[in-house]
Chain A
Amino acid sequence: MSLRRRSLLLAVPALLPGLAARAQGIGQDGPALVAAAADLQFVLEEIAARFRADTGLDVKLVFGSSGNLARQAEQGAPFQILMSADEGFVFRLAERGAARDRGALYAEGRIVVFAPLGSPLQVDERLDGLRAALDAGQVARFAIANPEHAPYGRAAEEALRSAGLWDRVQPRLVLGENIAQAMQFATTAGAQGGIVALSLARAPQTQGRGTFAVLPDTWHRPLLQRMALLRPAGAVAERFYAYMQAPAAREIMRRYGFVLPGEVQ
C-alpha cells in the first residue's frame, strides 16, 4: 500500500470522535442534557417545548429509572441536570460531589392502578377490583416498575403491601425497567393491568388505552421528586432548572397530576 493511502487510512479514525459530538453540539454551551425519571416522559417534553418557545434555548432529554440515571451520573455520564423521582438518589449524588448541592423539590408524584381496554380488571382506589380479579383467577400478569431502582416501582410494592395483596400479586408481576416501560407492558403487552405513574396515565399519548384510579398516598412513602444541577451543568441547564420552578412549568406539571411543593392537593 502506498504511503499516502496508508496515512489517509490512519487519518480517518482520528477524525471520527469529533464527528458525533459535533453533530449535536452537546456541551456546556450547547443544549443542556437532562436526565429525567421516566414518569416525566410526556410532561417534560411539553415543558421543554414551552421552554424553547419562551427562551429559544434547547434541552435534550434522556429518560430512565431514577436509580439507573443516578448511577450513570456517578460514573461520569455527561448529564447536566438529574430530575429524580426519589430524593434519595439526589442526596447520594450531592454527598459524592457529583451534584452542585442538595437540589430542590420539584413535585410529588402519585400512583394509579391501571387496566387496559378489554381487561377484566376493574379499577378503584381501594384495589377491591384487583382483589376480586385475583380471586377469580383473572390476573395472569400485572405490571409494575422494578422496585430495586425505580421509585414508582418501590411505591407500587408498598401500596400492594398496604392493601395486603403483595404476596398474591408477586408471582404474577412483570417488571418494567422503568415506569414508562411498566406502563407500556400494562397497555400493550398483554398484562391485565398494573400500577403506573399518574403523570403517564394522564398524558395525551396514553388516553383511551384503558382506565385508571388514583391510589391513596398514605399507602406508600411519598414520591418526593427532587432535581439537582450536576457538575457539568452550564448556563442553559441553570436556566432550565430555574424555569422548572417558575409558574409556567408548574402549571403544566399540575395538569399531569403532580402535587407541587407548597401546595396541598
Chain B
Amino acid sequence: MDWPALRLSLVLAAATVALLLPPAVWLGRVLAYRRFPGRGLAEVLVALPLVLPPTVAGYALLLLFGTGSAFGRAAASVLGHPLAFSFEGLLLASVLVNVPFAVQPVQNSFAAVPRNVREAAAVSGMSPWRALLRVELPLAWPGIVVAAALTFAHTLGEFGVVLMVGGSIPGQTRTAAIALYDRVQAFDDRGAVLLAAVLLGVSLVALLLTNLLSRQVGRRTLHA
C-alpha cells in the first residue's frame, strides 16, 4: 500500500477544497443572484473543465507553467523552483480543473433560495453580509457541502492532468491515481488493487453524501 501517495492525494484534495471553496461560494452566489453582461460567458468558462479533454488542459498548463511564459517565470522565481513537476503546480492545476465542481452546486443551491425569503431579509433591514450569514447560508449550505465533496473526490481521481504536469515524483506529485498506474506497470497486482479499492471507497462516500444532501436542498427551501 503506497501510503505516501495516498497521503499526498488526500493533502492535495483537502488543499484544493480549502483554496477553491471560498471563491467558489462567492462566484456561485454572484452567478445565482446577479444579472450582468457576460454572465453567460462566465457560466460557460466555469463549465469548461467539465468537457475539456484532460490532455488539452494538461498541455495548456504545461505551457503556462513553463519558463517560456511570463507567469511561469514569475512563479518559479517566487517558489525557487519550476512550477511544473511540483506540488504547488499540481495544486494550481487542481484548483483550475475543479472550478465547475465547486461553483455549480453552490450556484444551484443559492438559486434555490426563494426570492421572497431574500426579499424579506432585505426588507427587515439586514445588511447583505448579515443576510448571507443568517438567511442564505443556512438554506444553501447543503450545496456548499456537495461542492466540497465533489471537488475532493474529483481531485483524488485526477489523472490525465497530473500525468502531464506532475512527473510522478514520489512525495511531491505521485498521487494515488498515478501510483496505481505505476503499480500496474510494475506487475504489483496487490498494490494496484489496494489503491483502487481505497480510491473507489472514497468516491462512493463522496457520492452518497452528495446524493443525501441534494435531496435536502429541495426539501429545505420548499418549507422555508
Contacts and interface: CB of A to CB of B under 8 A. Distances in A.
A17 interface: yes
A16 B15 contact: yes
Contacts of B170: 24, 26, 33, 60, 62
Contact of B186 (A20, A25, A41): A41
A265 interface: no
B67 A76 contact: yes
Contacts of B169: 26, 33, 60, 62, 77-78
B83 to A, nearest CB: 9
A180 B186 contact: yes
A9 B26 CA distance: 15
DSSP class of A's interface residues: helix, strand, loop or mixed? helix
A145 to B, nearest CB: 11
B147 interface: no
Interface residues of A, number: 34
B67 A205 contact: no
Given A33-B169, A181-B185, A20 B85 contact: no
Interface in B30-83: 62, 66-67, 76, 79, 81-82
B168 interface: yes
B220 interface: no
B184 A24 contact: no
Interface string A54-65: 000000101110
- Which among B81, B85, B169 has the highest number of chain A CB atoms within 10 Å? B169
B216 to A, nearest CB: 24
B171 interface: yes
Interface stretch (B4-12, B104-112, B150-158, B199-207): B4-12
Contacts of A178: 185
Nearest to A176: B185
Contacts, number: 97
A213 to B, nearest CB: 20
Contacts of A72: 85, 167
A150 to B, nearest CB: 12
B185 A63 contact: yes
B81 A26 contact: no
A78 B81 contact: yes
Interface string A190-206: 00000000000001011
Given A16-B87, A78-B86, 8 more contacts: A21-B87, A25-B171, A26-B170, A38-B185, A62-B167, A75-B84, A76-B85, A78-B169
Interface of A: 9, 12-13, 16-17, 19-21, 23-26, 33, 38, 41-42, 60, 62-64, 72, 75-78, 178, 180-181, 183-184, 187, 203, 205-206
29 contacts: A9-B18, A9-B22, A13-B19, A19-B11, A20-B12, A20-B87, A20-B171, A23-B8, A23-B171, A24-B4, A24-B171, A26-B169, A26-B172, A60-B169, A62-B167, A63-B185, A72-B85, A75-B66, A75-B82, A76-B85, A77-B82, A78-B86, A78-B169, A78-B172, A178-B185, A180-B186, A184-B187, A205-B187, A206-B187
3 smallest beta-carbon distances between A and B, as pairs:
A24-B171, A76-B82, A20-B87
